[in-house]
Chain A
Amino acid sequence: MAETTVPVKSEEKGLAPTQEESRYLVPPVDIYETTDALVVVADVPGATKETIEVDVEDKILTIKAQPSYQTRGESFAEEFGLVNFFRQFQLSDTVNSEKIEAQYRHGVLTLTLPKAEAAKPKQITVSVN
């Protein structure tokens, strides 16, 4: 699973550009595979359910989120700031993009991307003569 932050060829189908112009944060992720799905877990603190955008187009998974966070008063110690989150992944298996499930809880976004029928592992029985 290669990560892409460069624009992919997008002329033919008139796809949206795959690059974010503004400054952004790259959320840390865990990605693991189960027999029938790919699960992506991303830390996107400070965002709300409404500001998270997830889409799969041409085997490219895009995660965007806009956290809303503002400090109040005078700063004594400042260690973090939040700008938009942005990250893209190139998916190797064909994903059933209509059945992607997303869940957001305590700042953690969990995506379940079911594999398309063709990409699921098939067990082959060995016949012994």
Chain B
Amino acid sequence: MSLGWDVFREMEHLHREMDDFLNRRPVRWQRGPAFRWSFLPGRAARAYPLVNVTEDQDTIYVDALAPGLNPDTLTITIVENKLTVAGEKQGLGDQVKTDAYHRNERAAGRFVRTVNLPAPVDQNQAEANYTNGLLTIRLPKPEEAKPKQISVTIN
């Protein structure tokens, strides 16, 4: 085939780009908007809650920005290196009539989010804490995932 480009590969490329755009791969936190958008009504279809995943030698930390959750609805599950957080953000509900609102910016509802962890974790020793709207999860690494130093012998 003398065609300069492959239609299917081109399609796949486009598909992947759209996926990236929609899933909004974790980018470094940019000033301002990302935070606001994640709470606005109609935009809650974006990744919610926003998470920071950090690690040190022994532990992986996952912090999620999730104010106003009902802690009883919060479920955290780990399968291999995927961590899933599900729960419900409480709205003001029926206690407020629609015409009584001046502003309604806080989205509410059920959510599920799965994040990939950078290393395997010891599921039995995981701890989660929900304080002041921040969910902090501590995931200790198993012995085999911790970095080992190898000494070099010189002949």
Contacts and interface: CB of A to CB of B under 8 A. Distances in A.
Interface residues of A, number: 37
A45 B103 contact: no
A23 B28 CA distance: 17
Nearest to A68: B132
A77 B52 contact: yes
Contacts of A44: 67, 133
Contact of A34 (B40, B61, B68, B100): B100
B29 A78 contact: yes
Interface stretch (B6-14, B15-23, B30-38, B120-128): B30-38
Query: Which 10 pairs across A and B sit closest by C-beta, in order of nearness?
Result: A107-B133, A107-B67, A45-B133, A73-B56, A77-B26, A45-B67, A28-B105, A31-B102, A79-B50, A76-B53
Interface of B: 26-29, 31-32, 34-36, 39-40, 47, 50-56, 59-61, 63, 65-69, 71, 92, 96, 100-106, 115, 118, 130, 132-134
Given A43-B68, A43-B106, A46-B134, 8 more contacts: A29-B103, A30-B106, A32-B92, A33-B100, A43-B39, A76-B60, A77-B115, A106-B132
